[in-house]
Structure 1
Amino acid sequence: MKLLKASLIVLFSILLVSCSEKDDAPKNIEVQNFVWKGLNAYYLWQDLVPDLADRRFNNDNELYSYLSAYDDPANLFYSLLYMPNEYTKDPNRTYSWIVDDYIALEEAFAGIRLTSGMKLEGADYADGSGGYYIYVYDVVAGSNADAQGVTRGMIITEINGTTITRGNVNDLLDNDTFTIHLADYNGGNPVSNGTTITVTKSQVTENPIKVTNVITNGSHTIGYLMYNQFSRNFDGELNAEFAKFQSAGLTDLIIDLRYNGGGSVQTATYLGSMITGQFNNELFAKQVWNHKVMEVTNPDLLINNFTNQILNKDQQGNVVLDEAINSLNLNTIYFIVSDDSASASELVINALKPYIDVKLVGTQTYGKHVGSITLYDSDDYTRNGDNLKSHTWAMQPIVLEIQNVDGENAPEGFIPEVIIDEDPGNLGVLGDPAEPLLERTIQYITTGAKGVPTMKKGVQFSPSWNSNMMRPDYNNMYVELK
């Protein structure tokens, strides 16, 4: 989205000289200066953090003295966050983060990561003994785990010969190469079967379009799409899948977001427009920024409208994708969701609800209705702005709340009408009509039956653990500062 940066600079110069154009701070606190001024300008809860107040410092020297107390820019960054609103589910995590290598951050948004390829979830032993195991719920195509034969449904009780616990699981997986020890499920009380597989992390580009197919069931022609990240680098591929759905003459569509923690708001808008098509140019979602941004920004620049065209540009403003959207003009959509469905996934659900009938199958979604931007250390905080500093630090602070056309969102997440959870002992094959969650969604489509909630019992500890939590972009939703 495009902000009126010139107006912001005028406003900030009235409030405090330090908040206007970013002067050259002493080299030893250059990054700290960037951190404070970027958060002062854009952080959603800036007015609730005393040390980010516009009049906190009388001049730059006072600010520099304050910044000099922080040798590590990351410590400064996290000290300036408004924690009660930043993350209510886990006080040890935050929606905002900072990195010292923005290339890696940009690659993560593009689906490029250093990974073994295994996606894992943790569970307690069913017998209440306190034992703990992890299981593979997905494997990234083209990864080393894929090449070594790791498959969905494998149960892991040890790594490198060490028994897995809640406390050590992250450390055990934090190696470039490690050996997993497999076990038989045994009713949720895994028993080692002696099989081991050694996997090595590598740089992998994950296509977020995991599975697509068309399923015929009686008079229903049902499209199915498992979509795992809202990545603008794959907008063309996503649009191509909807062209296939158009040709198939679908009566119904299922979009599986159970593992989708979010991503680009623009891509979410494109997906909503592909599902529909009859609401072109009507409001898809609107953004609420901090009061300083709202006061100087044309409200029309803070909305995302349904569209019939994909128009993506790179950071230099060059068009990289320009094509008509393939829309299905549906009046009903079915989403498979879980507590791993967050941010941009919830945005699509929320934005479509006022317009069409949105049906949900699975478990309650995560509940995250705020979004971020990437701030770089340049005059206008963009990657291609003037005077981009030579360091590679960047920030990803929360800057906006997002709402649908009725001004609504769901901070606690969305509760499906059909409640069904995955069972580690019977995960099934993704995209197969017999996979339990897909099978139940097809039944919902063809019969309308909501049935009795089906939840896994005695296997999931609270708070839950998922290997995606180790990623810096976990459950992120972002817009682009242009």
Structure 2
Amino acid sequence: MKRMKMRRFLLVAIFAGSLMTSCSEDMDDVIDDDVLVERENVEIEDFIYRGMDEIYLYKPDIPELADDYFDSEDDYYDFLVSWDTPEDLFDEGLVAPQDRFSYITDDYIELENSFSGISETTGVDYRLYLFSNSDDIFGVVRYIVPGSNAEGTAIKRGDLFTEINGETLNRNNYRSLLSSPSVTFTLAEINDNAVSNTGEEVTIATSEVTENPVLIQNVIETDGLKIGYLMYNSFVADFDQQLNDAFAYFASENIDHLVLDLRYNGGGRVSSATALASMITGSYTGEIFAKQQWNEDYQNYFLATDPDRLFNYFTDDLPGEIALNQLNLTDLYVIGTSSTASASELVINGLKPYIDVYLIGHTTTGKSQASVTLYDSPNFGPTNANPDHTYAIQPLVYESVNANDIVVPYDGIDPDVESYESLSDLGVLGDPSEPMLAAAINAITGNTSEAQAMTRQREFNYQEFKERASLQPNYKRMYIDELPSLRLDQ
């Protein structure tokens, strides 16, 4: 029995109910040897399977997603019910080993908020590190989110913390402690590569914050050059206008070069990445910024029905025919780190066939795939989503390559000038003396000896662990605006 026919039969059997029970019960009664057996509710599991079966990039690598894998509806049901939770089915049963970024959530409202830059946070952005040979953790404050409860408190960039709410941070408790409604940071300092508490405490309540990803924009004048500096922390379409306004400022200042600081930018919406790349250049409207490579079924479907769907093109406007402010630059200097991922890497890779792109910092994450949100609805869109639950899945659906068919390496993009943030001296973001920005400026001006002197080495006593964004559902994700015209087994 073909799986599509079998799956439709299962849905009718479970959700209509052969005994004409209420459709809200989501169960079927099956008679076997005169014993009445109630089937378990697999409504969510069925949605997850159907979504992955429909559009997952790595579908060919999952045997259970093969068209002839199940012989009957009972085999299919037995597979779905064999998993303890929907998360187990998704993470352990349907996600390929090479997939580091597909995601499931039981609260798609939180996911949607994260795509708009909305989160419950103290406003303290941090990176966590593991102590050597220990499960204990300490954090380093990277910046304070403007407009958050942390703004104006005693905590600032460069501060360290080892305890939250009186408990020492470790691998097992960091998530729950840092997600508390009220967070008390026990501050620490680093001296001679040793971390110790100062005894100072700062308590901050969380609140819902909408974070503008355009954190800093300024112009630095040095050696007769005007260098624009933009710190951009997430590709959030709701703030595309603010991004465009930043480029209006750079255009009015007639800058010669641009330093794009993506050191903390884990990615976001593809359309925003395309717009940013188009603002930087301005000379390639209508040319290919990126190519999409879907699974075989969808690739062939788009080639037959809408081949233009497989390309992202440089543009000269935002939705609503809002003209982009474009700089027509021929080079770009990007500050990147291990936190730099997905849409950030898309910008770097997509621009390389057209202009000179230099990476200052260290190797990026290495994520070239885009995802899309699937809801439990007839066409997997948000309209008419099943009201009985708020599960959604965010599977990888295509891999992106640039106009020269080059993909972002799985191990990340290596820097042209290697530099690390020093935990003992992070510097002031946007200040020309901040070490990573100074390295970028020196690369622009050709002061190679000074650039080398400003290069900071990694402090090997501590291992990078997690960062604030890793507690959010859109962490290191590159996603498309909306579902494509689905094939739905046509």
Q: TM-score, normalised by structure 1?
A: 0.88
CA drift at 1:175: 1.7
Q: Which residue of 2 aligns with 1:429?
A: 428
- Tell me, what secondary structure is at the counterpart of 1:113? strand
CA drift at 1:83: 3.9
- Does 1:357 pair with 2:359? no
Paired residue type of 2:62: V
Paired residue type of 1:349: I
CA–CA distance in 1 between the matches of 2:425 and 2:9?
58
Between 435-444 and 139-148, the greater mean CA deviation after superposition: 139-148
Q: Which residue of 2 aligns with 1:90?
A: none
- Does 1:111 pair with 2:117? yes
CA–CA distance in 1 between the matches of 2:309 and 2:461?
46
CA drift at 1:162: 2.4
Is contact 2:290–2:400 with CA below 8 Å preserved after alignment?
Answer: yes
Is contact 2:58–2:96 with CA below 8 Å preserved after alignment?
Answer: no
Paired residue type of 2:105: V
Is contact 1:32–1:73 with CA below 8 Å preserved after alignment?
Answer: yes
CA drift at 1:167: 4.5
Q: Which residue of 1 aligns with 2:4?
A: 16
CA gap of 1:53–1:14, structure 2 versus 1, over 3 A, is: closer
Task: Report 1:183-194 matches (<5 A).
Answer: 183-194=188-199
CA drift at 1:402: 0.7
Match among 148, 157, 171 for residue 153 of structure 2: 148
CA–CA distance in 1 between the matches of 2:10 and 2:378?
6
CA drift at 1:58: 3.6
1:68-99 per-residue CA deviation (whole Å, 9 max, x = no partner) reads: 33453222212333442113xxxxxxx11111
CA–CA distance in 2 between the matches of 1:455 and 1:370?
30
CA drift at 1:161: 2.3
Q: Which residue of 2 aligns with 1:9?
A: none
Is contact 1:354–1:406 with CA below 8 Å preserved after alignment?
Answer: yes
CA–CA distance in 1 between the matches of 2:372 and 2:7?
18
Match among 291, 308, 314 for residue 306 of structure 1: 314
Between 373-382 and 66-75, the greater mean CA deviation after superposition: 66-75
Task: Report 1:220-299 matches (<5 A).
Answer: 220-298=225-303, 299=307
Is contact 1:351–1:404 with CA below 8 Å preserved after alignment?
Answer: yes
Between 74-83 and 388-397, the greater mean CA deviation after superposition: 74-83
CA–CA distance in 2 between the matches of 1:296 and 1:230?
29
CA gap of 1:101–1:82, structure 2 versus 1, over 3 A, is: closer
CA–CA distance in 2 between the matches of 1:141 and 1:119?
11
Identical amino acids, percent of aligned pairs? 40
Q: Which residue of 1 aligns with 2:35?
A: none
Between 325-334 and 453-462, the greater mean CA deviation after superposition: 453-462
Q: Which residue of 2 aligns with 1:389?
A: 386
CA drift at 1:129: 8.8
Paired residue type of 1:457: E
CA–CA distance in 1 between the matches of 2:242 and 2:394?
27
CA drift at 1:244: 1.1
1:371-428 per-residue CA deviation (whole Å, 9 max, x = no partner) reads: 11100112211113xx432132111011111100111112221111111100111111
Is contact 1:122–1:460 with CA below 8 Å preserved after alignment?
Answer: no
CA gap of 1:190–1:205, structure 2 versus 1, over 3 A, is: same
Paired residue type of 1:153: G
CA drift at 1:217: 1.0
Q: Which residue of 2 aligns with 1:174?
A: 179
CA drift at 1:440: 1.6
Is contact 1:120–1:136 with CA below 8 Å preserved after alignment?
Answer: yes
CA gap of 1:188–1:131, structure 2 versus 1, over 3 A, is: farther
Q: Which residue of 1 aligns with 2:85?
A: 72
CA drift at 1:193: 1.8
CA–CA distance in 1 between the matches of 2:377 and 2:310?
23
Match among 96, 102, 127 for residue 108 of structure 2: 102
1:46-74 per-residue CA deviation (whole Å, 9 max, x = no partner) reads: 11111111112245454234323345322
Is contact 2:337–2:363 with CA below 8 Å preserved after alignment?
Answer: yes
Paired residue type of 2:4: L
Is contact 1:220–1:251 with CA below 8 Å preserved after alignment?
Answer: yes
Q: Which residue of 1 aligns with 2:463?
A: 461
1:433-462 per-residue CA deviation (whole Å, 9 max, x = no partner) reads: 121111121111112525265313234315
Is contact 2:2–2:68 with CA below 8 Å preserved after alignment?
Answer: no
Paired residue type of 2:341: A
Paired residue type of 1:143: S
CA–CA distance in 2 between the matches of 1:143 and 1:270?
28
Q: Which residue of 2 aligns with 1:472?
A: 473
Is contact 1:282–1:306 with CA below 8 Å preserved after alignment?
Answer: yes
CA gap of 1:454–1:61, structure 2 versus 1, over 3 A, is: same
CA–CA distance in 2 between the matches of 1:205 and 1:233?
10
Is contact 2:277–2:347 with CA below 8 Å preserved after alignment?
Answer: yes
Q: Which residue of 1 aligns with 2:63?
A: 50
Paired residue type of 1:473: N
- Tell me, what secondary structure is at the counterpart of 1:144? coil
Larger radius of gyration: 2
Paired residue type of 1:394: A
User: How many residues are treated as equivalent by the alignment?
Assistant: 450
- Tell me, what secondary structure is at the counterpart of 1:475? coil
CA drift at 1:287: 0.9
Between 351-360 and 48-57, the greater mean CA deviation after superposition: 48-57
- Does 1:161 pair with 2:166? yes
CA gap of 1:44–1:20, structure 2 versus 1, over 3 A, is: farther
CA drift at 1:171: 3.6
CA–CA distance in 2 between the matches of 1:474 and 1:213?
27
Q: Which residue of 1 aligns with 2:30?
A: none
Paired residue type of 2:124: M
CA–CA distance in 1 between the matches of 2:134 and 2:238?
45
- Tell me, what secondary structure is at the counterpart of 1:329? coil
CA–CA distance in 2 between the matches of 1:130 and 1:99?
27
CA–CA distance in 2 between the matches of 1:239 and 1:459?
41
Q: Which residue of 2 aligns with 1:316?
A: none
CA–CA distance in 2 between the matches of 1:283 and 1:19?
40
1:90-137 per-residue CA deviation (whole Å, 9 max, x = no partner) reads: xxxxx11111221110100111011121122223568x8987421111
Between 137-146 and 325-334, the greater mean CA deviation after superposition: 137-146
CA–CA distance in 1 between the matches of 2:94 and 2:246?
40
Q: Which residue of 2 aligns with 1:29?
A: 42
CA gap of 1:249–1:172, structure 2 versus 1, over 3 A, is: same
Paired residue type of 2:403: V
CA gap of 1:68–1:130, structure 2 versus 1, over 3 A, is: closer
Between 287-296 and 181-190, the greater mean CA deviation after superposition: 181-190
CA drift at 1:296: 1.0
